[in-house]
A and B are shown apart, each in its own frame.
Chain A
Amino acid sequence: MSQPITLEDVLSKNETELLAQLSEKELARLYWKFRGLAKTLERDTAFWNSTNENLKVAYETLDEKERELAAAYHIIRDDLEVAQSVQNALLPRMFATMASELELGVYHKQLTEVGGDYFDYFRTASDRYAIGVFDISGHGVSSALVMAYLKAQFMTIMERLENPAEIVEWVNRASYEFLREVRKYATVNFVTFEESTLHYVCGGGYGLLLGADGQEHIFEKKNHFLGLRQKPYLEEQLPFVVGDLLVLYTDGMVEAQNLEGKDYSVARLNDVVWRHRTLPTEEIVRLCVEDYHSFRTQDSDDITLLIARKTA
């Protein structure tokens, strides 16, 4: 006598004609199994509907946040554009004594709208002049604010002190607590000019003097950054006569890398300057920037390159 057909037999054999042989009990089981599946489907549908509704709300929220973000971004952009004009307005213009003795070429580019590279021209107490090139740590708005602060410090002291080491030391002392508080520091390359000599204080950054006679002098970094220590600064003196070329720059160009991860380097920049040293300073700067652009993949820092030739 054969075993009665069960629901499991029908399902496992996948033979629908066996359905007719199911007992009433097995048919009832089939009924409840179907109801069970329908109930599971109902619960799953409710679950997914709720999840979909949640996703819809999430998308709407995301959309709203995106609009808010876009609005906030526009406000920030507008503010940055204003900040950029303010920072550009803080950049120096040559005054008469300087213009009569120096031929200048400058390339200055902040990585973002505003930045922490800073160069300036100062009138000294004895109506001579000075040039400063600074690189404030970090980028962006905070560094730009520190730049404005340092400019104010230099403007305050330039009318009272003459000696470059004393000037830088005074600025460092006056700024020290502030810079510590905002966790910033700045490289300093500060040069004062007399009739036929220059005095420099170098605490970071790069300086190169190419004499008209072919002599080359690289600035010695004997000093500390502004805001790092409170101790005296040392200055050096060099002859600076007609035809001599002074090159001051921050690390923005020389530390930029190419696709192989190689630095543009001080050696390469100095070599470009050397090869074109007889050209007008603006042309030398243009060629330096052209060579730099051909090398690096992208800018990674603020950039300042300043080239001055003694003309009188």
Chain B
Amino acid sequence: MNEQNAPPDQMLVHGSLMVGFAQACVNLNIVAGRDATNFIKGLQINDWYPLAQWERLQELVVRSYGNVDPIMVKVGIAMMTGWYHYGPGKEVVRRGASFLHYQTGSGGFASVVRGPERVVGSFELELFDKSRGKAIVHSTTPFNRKMECGVLIGGMLAPGDIDYVDVRNDEDSDHLVVEFH
């Protein structure tokens, strides 16, 4: 489905995000890898797809694991590693810390989703303190939070200038607390 055919209140996900997710699953050899490859057959990387299609893809991973959190973190990291080293990442992000600004700005999350704000949610940088190595991202997107933690970790580590990154959302699932040095 492309955006012209989508109902006006429906959230759309960019094909690049879906292909990136499935490719990460394949690269990590997780159970859903082969299923995910089959699932993305016919998907166009530049087209837009309903959220439900993304959720079906994500469900392939979630249903296979008793404890899926570490898996989703790793998938998020692998997605951003692929994006940086084999995609356009190097062109737009030169330093690890700037990935936080990129991802929470117009080129990041906002560029791969479309739809009404109440459905799409937001991905905003609430705090960024480089001297203390701390940042907080507030996320109300429909995506898996652990995957989002992984996306931030992978994106910040990819340029290679940051020695330590951890992202946690233990206390409040919508607040991703970033520590970096």
Contacts and interface: CB of A to CB of B under 8 A. Distances in A.
Partners in one complex: yes
Interface string B145-171: 000000001000000001111100000
Interface residues of A, number: 18
B66 A35 contact: no
Interface stretch (B14-22, B43-51, B70-78): B70-78
Contact of B71 (A35, A36, A47, A58): A47
A39 B30 contact: no
Interface in A182-197: none
A36 B30 contact: no
B165 A47 contact: no
5 contacts: A39-B164, A44-B74, A50-B71, A51-B65, A54-B66
A36 B165 contact: yes
B64 interface: yes
Interface of B: 30-31, 64-71, 73-74, 77, 153, 162-166, 181
Contact of A53 (B66, B164, B181): B66
A54 B70 contact: no
Contacts of B73: 43, 46-47
Interface string A278-306: 00000000000000000000000000000
B164 A43 contact: no
A50 B68 contact: yes
B35 to A, nearest CB: 14
A36 B164 CA distance: 4
A29 interface: yes
Given A32-B181, A43-B73, A43-B74, A50 B165 contact: no
Nearest to A40: B157
A53 B31 CA distance: 12
A229 interface: no
A50 B163 contact: no
Contacts of B66: 50, 53-54, 57
B168 to A, nearest CB: 11
Nearest to A55: B31
A46 B70 contact: yes
A49 B69 CA distance: 11
B70 A50 contact: yes
Interface of A: 28-29, 32-33, 35-36, 39, 43-44, 46-47, 49-51, 53-54, 57-58
B163 A43 contact: no
A50 B65 contact: yes
B25 to A, nearest CB: 12
Contacts of B67: 49-50, 53
B65 A54 contact: yes
A43 B181 CA distance: 17
A260 B169 CA distance: 69
A290 to B, nearest CB: 51
A162 B177 CA distance: 95
Contacts of A50: 65-71
B65 A43 contact: no
Contacts of B69: 46, 50
Contacts of A32: 163-164, 181
Contacts of B166: 39
Contacts of A44: 74
A54 B163 contact: no
Contacts of A58: 31
